[in-house]
Amino acid sequence: MSTDDTSAASTPAPATPRNFIHDIIDEHNQSGRFEGRVHTRFPPEPNGYLHIGHAKSICLNFGLAKYYNGKCNLRFDDTNPAKEDQEYVDSIMDDVRWLGFEWDALYYASDFFEQIYQYAEQLIEKGLAYIESSPVEKIREMRGTLTQPGQHSPDRERPTAESLDLFRRMRAGEFPDGKYVLRAKIDMAHPNMNMRDPLLYRIRHAEHHRTGDTWCIYPLYDFTHGYCDSLERITHSICTLEFENHRPLYDWFIDVLDLYHPQQIEFARLNLTYTVMSKRKLLELVEAGIVRGWDDPRMPTIAGIHRRGYTPAGMRAFCEDIGVTRFNGLTNLAVLENAIRSDLNKVAPRYMAVLNPLKVVLTNYPEGQVDELDAVNNPEDASQGTRKVPFSKVLYIEQDDFMEDPPKKFFRLAPGREVRLRWGYFITCQEVVKDADGKIVELRCTYDPETRGGNAPDGRKVKSTIHWVSADHAKSAEVRLYDKLFTIENVADIPEDEDWKTYLNPESEVINTIAKLEPALGDHPAGFTCQFERLGYFCVDKDSTPAQLVFNRTVTLKDEWTKLQKKAD
Ligand code: ATP
Ligand code: MG
């Protein structure tokens, strides 16, 4: 990305899919409105961890800057000292970088507090703002409704000099919280409620995460946001649709002071099925201890999907797939999972793991002998090479891969039947061993030494290949199987009078403690992602230790759920 301040828009990179915002920018470039500059920003409030919706906004803002050889800033909109925290600032920076982006400049709205204070004084001096003494509830009452105009406050005609004096004394700390507010003087009958003398400043004797106790008055978000964009000389202020009817207010703040004017452009926020995208609700899950924290692999936070094993490239591909529009919709979670799956398919090495082990004894295999079989690490990527997998007399296979009395379409192991062991030999089930309760505890099989590597010299075929691990060499592990966070498709459908938490999926995390892994899976760092053949993509969790391996299921191999839906239709 260019760091040259005067860099004009240049040849677009063809790989990025275009959306309606490109058309708007192209028009500006043609008319020369911003002298060909493109400068966007991602403006989070540091009051929580970023979620997948934010990833869409990040990819859009940084992606546009890249496309036009422009710039993108990271700006923390830190106007609410009570809810903000350095922990959130740090996590947001980590998340943006994890997604693969680097900001050109870093700002905090609080960097501009002095300038914004000066703007407020200018508004008062122009007779466009006044000090209000009514309590906030009263102000709200007097705002009117969509069908009723608001009422003028008795303070609306307060002389300029008096408002200015009170505002300065507010700043000096003379008054308690709530005693006064500064309001813009616009139009109490305006059809857009945002224009009915909105609040600009309030008194908050609170410690700010950056400015400490320098300030005891804080500008409101609406009053701050547009000025920050202007001061950073942002060209295109991209935000979600719910801010469309704030645009006239941002325009007003900037125009009455004759300041540099960025173009605000709104797009539809991302909503996903079976998920919430609200920081407030996510915070509730964390605070109630329902999840393992902000980075719980079930959380739709960027920290959560990172821990779950989602890849930055998969996330970026997803954001490109869904596109950018002005229509609010609901994106199927399966679309996200498919993007992750198809990225992992390219990059993740394959290993064998058995989640629900069934013991297999090869009766004709020599006691104590170990055979080192060659396995291909990734059939999609030859550069990942091969590895050795130990094979011995006692193996584990998946319980599901055996049926004593198989139905017609079951081609895996059954009494008297021959199957192929992945990378290994053909085996035939000779005997089923049961415990006193009739539960199958062991299979006694024979192997054919001639079939090493997976083919019979006489050309005989088997109908299935199953995975396995050698019992003596296996590593035990805890495997956390993750699934949808909610049982309801559209969380917005939950009635207001019901507790949304009752719709959480009790099986969103199922812990398996009996899994057996091939030995090569024993020493990888947290975050290592791979495919367990035939089972899905998994990654090493940060809780994993050499003594207790812990893997997370990132995503299943196939989209079972959509398949089931289709069947049901
Ligand atoms: P939440 O509603 O979850 O609290 P927010 O909008 O208050 O989110 P901000 O920190 O203000 O969170 O968001 C930073 C940027 O990310 C904003 O420009 C916002 O429009 C955008 N954004 C937030 N949620 C989404 C979403 N679901 N889809 C796309 N962009 C989003
Ligand atoms: Mg917000």
Q: Which residues contact 142 (CB under 8 A, 6 or more apart)?
A: 134, 150, 151, 152, 153, 188
Q: Which two tokens stand for residue 13?
A: 């990179």
Of 108, 269, 280, the one to substitute when testing ligand 1's pocket (max ligand atoms within 8 A of C-beta) is 269
The mean of the pLDDT values for the chain is: 95
Dump the DSSP string for 248-305: HHHHHHHHHTT---PEEEEEPPP-BTT----HHHHHHHHHTTSSSSTT-TTS-BHHHH
Token code pair at residue 339: 């993007």
Amino acid at 350: R
**Cβ(42)–Cβ(74) below 8 Å:** yes
pTM of the predicted model, to two decimals? Answer: 0.93
Q: What is the pLDDT of residues 35-48, one digit of tens each?
A: 999 999 999 999 99
Q: What percent of the chain has pLDDT over 90?
A: 94
Q: Is 113-220 assigned to CATH 3.90.800.10? A: yes
Nearest protein CA to atom 15 of ligand 1, as residue: 44
Measured in angstroms, how far is the CA atom of residue 50 from the centroid of ligand 1? 8
CATH number of 5-111+223-339: 3.40.50.620
For residues 4-30, give the mean pLDDT: 72
Hunting for tokens 């914004």 — which residue is that?
116
Residue 323 banded pLDDT, cuts 50, 70, 90: very high
Is 481 within 8 Å of 556 (Cβ atoms)? Answer: no
φ/ψ (deg, to 5) at 553: -80, 115
By three-state DSSP, how is residue 535 classified? coil
State both tokens at 299.
């959380």
Rounded to an integer, what distance in angstroms lies between the CA atom of residue 150 and that of residue 194? 11
Q: Mind listing the pLDDT tens digit for each residue in 254-272? A: 999 999 999 999 999 999 9
Which ligand has the nearest atom to the CA of 264?
1
From 240, 278, 322, the mutation candidate for ligand 1 (largest count of ligand atoms within 8 A of CB) is 240
The answer on pLDDT for 564 being more than 80 is no
Of 192, 288, 285, 204, which is closest to residue 244 (Cα–Cα)? 192
Q: Output the 3-class SS for 51-105.
A: EHHHHHHHHHHHHHHHHCCCEEEEEECCCCCCCCCHHHHHHHHHHHHHCCCCCCC
pLDDT given at position 559: 73
Rounded-to-integer distance, Cα 538 and Cα 471, Å: 21
Give the Å distance between the CA of 38 and the centre of ligand 2: 23
270: CA distance to ligand 1 center in Å?
Answer: 9
* Nearest ligand to residue 57 Cα: 1
Confidence of residue 565 (pLDDT cuts 50, 70, 90): low
pLDDT tens for each residue of 239-257: 999 999 999 999 999 999 9
Does residue 11 carry a pLDDT above 50?
no
Measured CA distances, 277 to 269, 324, 472, 490 (Å): 10, 17, 46, 11
Short-list 408, 415, 416, 448, CA closest to 434: 415
Distance 44 CA to ligand 2 centre (A): 7
Please check the confidence at residue 132 and state whether its pLDDT lies above 50: yes
Q: Is 30 exposed, middle or buried (0-12, 13-18, 19+ CB in 10 A)?
A: exposed
Reported as a pLDDT band with limits 50, 70 and 90, residue 562 is low
Q: Using pLDDT thresholds of 50, 70 and 90, give the confidence band for residue 563.
A: low
Q: Categorize the per-residue pLDDT at 2 as very low, low, confident or very high, splitting at 50, 70 and 90.
A: very low
Q: Determine the distance separating the centroid of ligand 1 and the alpha carbon of 44, expressed in angstroms.
A: 7
Measuring from atom 10 of ligand 1, which residue has the nearest CA?
44
Q: Which CATH number does the domain 353-467 belong to among 1.20.120.550, 3.40.50.720, 2.40.50.140, 2.40.240.10?
A: 2.40.240.10
Q: How much distance in Å is there from the Cα of 92 to the middle of ligand 1?
A: 12
**Active site members:** 45, 269, 279
pLDDT over threshold 50, residue 283: yes
Mean pLDDT value of segment 522-549 = 97
Q: What is the pLDDT of residue 539?
A: 98
Over residues 321-336, the mean pLDDT reads: 95
For the CA of 271, the closest atom of ligand 1 is: 27
Region 270-298: mean pLDDT is: 96
Average pLDDT over residues 295-312: 98
Q: How many CB atoms lie within 10 A of CB 256?
A: 16
Ligand nearest to the CA of 301: 1
Nearest protein Cα to ligand 1, atom 2: 278
CB of 529 closer than 8 Å to CB of 538: yes
- 568 versus 216: the higher-pLDDT residue is 216
pLDDT value at residue 326: 96
List, by residue range, all CATH 2.40.240.10 domains of the chain: 353-467
Ligand 1: which residue has its CA nearest to atom 22?
Answer: 54
Interval 431-435 mean pLDDT: 98
Query: Measuring from each residue's beta carbon to the nearest atom of ligand 1, which residues come in under 6 Å?
Result: 43-45, 53-54, 56-57, 239-240, 269-270, 277-279
**Which part of the chain has CATH 3.90.800.10?**
113-220
117 HSE (CA, 13 A, CB side): 19
pLDDT band at 16 (very low <50, low <70, confident <90, very high): confident
345-404 pLDDT, tens digit each = 999 999 999 999 999 999 999 999 999 999 999 999 999 999 999 999 999 999 999 999
- In this prediction, residue 519 carries a pLDDT of 97
Q: Which amino acid is at 72?
A: C
In the chain, which residues fall in CATH 3.40.50.620?
Answer: 5-111+223-339
Which ligand is nearest the CA of 48, by number?
Answer: 1
pLDDT of residue 7: 40
